[in-house]
Structure 1
């Protein structure tokens, strides 16, 4: 297995409500299959999939989907980018869990949850600048 993630699927109770949140943050939907809402993430895809259909697709009961201890990360180009994203969260229907602040390792970050409870970290790492043209960090031991 090659080391990569191509698709992140978030199981959601209300796909349109969940999508409205990401739309309000400025993301643009791409064409997807019926019932699934997708966003292109520059080499990966984020999919919003109704919980009942996700469970059916896997072949398990909805209760077995559970809630994992997982966060998704968005890396901003600078501290202002962190503040900008975090400033949009509540107006879009999300919840700020940790206001942006400096981190012990020299970066700057905050956390929010989307309307379905998925947790995101928004961070700026001054030691690993984003490459031009994409959202990828160069790994420098963070």
Structure 2
């Protein structure tokens, strides 16, 4: 199996609301998006928004089957100030602050939830190198 992460799909309850939220926070909506799915440019991977019920059906997760969960998404940034600015931006756009940014053993970061409750971390990790697009460079 390829170890390339190319797409992350979030199950959402209101596709138009989620599209608007992510667009307001700076994500660029791809032209191939339509009324059934929204694709967002995400640097190294694409973020997709898809109606939650349709996603569960597509996965075969119906009835008493477990639902996806236990995952957080993260946006790593170049500075502490950028963490604070990004968290303020998503809250202004309709996101909910889950955990304010604070010092951590590995750096500085905080969490927000999108309109469907998907948890995102915004973090500055001094030991990680980022390229000009904000992608993590491992083993640089």
1:136 Cα deviation (Å)?
1.7
Alpha-carbon contact 1:38-1:48 (below 8 Å) kept:
yes
Deviates more, 1:94-103 or 1:55-64: 55-64
Distance 1:26 1:65, change over 3 A: farther
Q: CA RMSD of the aligned region, Å?
A: 1.8
What TM-score do the two structures reach when normalised by structure 2?
0.88
How many equivalent residue pairs? Answer: 138
What TM-score do the two structures reach when normalised by structure 1?
0.87
- 1:104 corresponds in structure 2 to 105
- 1:120 corresponds in structure 2 to 120
Structure 1 residues 21-40: aligned runs within 5 Å: 21-30=21-30, 31-40=32-41
1:34 Cα deviation (Å)?
4.1
Instruction: Give ranges in structure 1 of 5+ residues lacking alignment.
Output: none
1:42 Cα deviation (Å)?
1.7
Structure 1 residues 1-142: aligned runs within 5 Å: 1-30=1-30, 31-61=32-62, 64=65, 66-105=67-106, 107-132=107-132, 134-139=133-138
Q: Give SS of 2:129's match.
A: coil
Q: Residues 57-115 of structure 1, C-alpha deviation per residue, up to 9 Å, x if partnerless? A: 2344276462411100100111111111101122211110111111122x110000001
Q: When you count strand as a share of all residues, which structure comes out higher?
A: 2
Q: Residues 15-38 of structure 1, C-alpha deviation per residue, up to 9 Å, x if partnerless? A: 111111111111110022541011
Alpha-carbon contact 2:95-2:115 (below 8 Å) kept:
yes
In 1, Cα distance between equivalents of 2:137 and 2:98 = 27
In 1, Cα distance between equivalents of 2:6 and 2:92 = 30
Instruction: Give ranges in structure 2 of 5+ residues lacking alignment.
Output: none
In 1, Cα distance between equivalents of 2:65 and 2:18 = 21
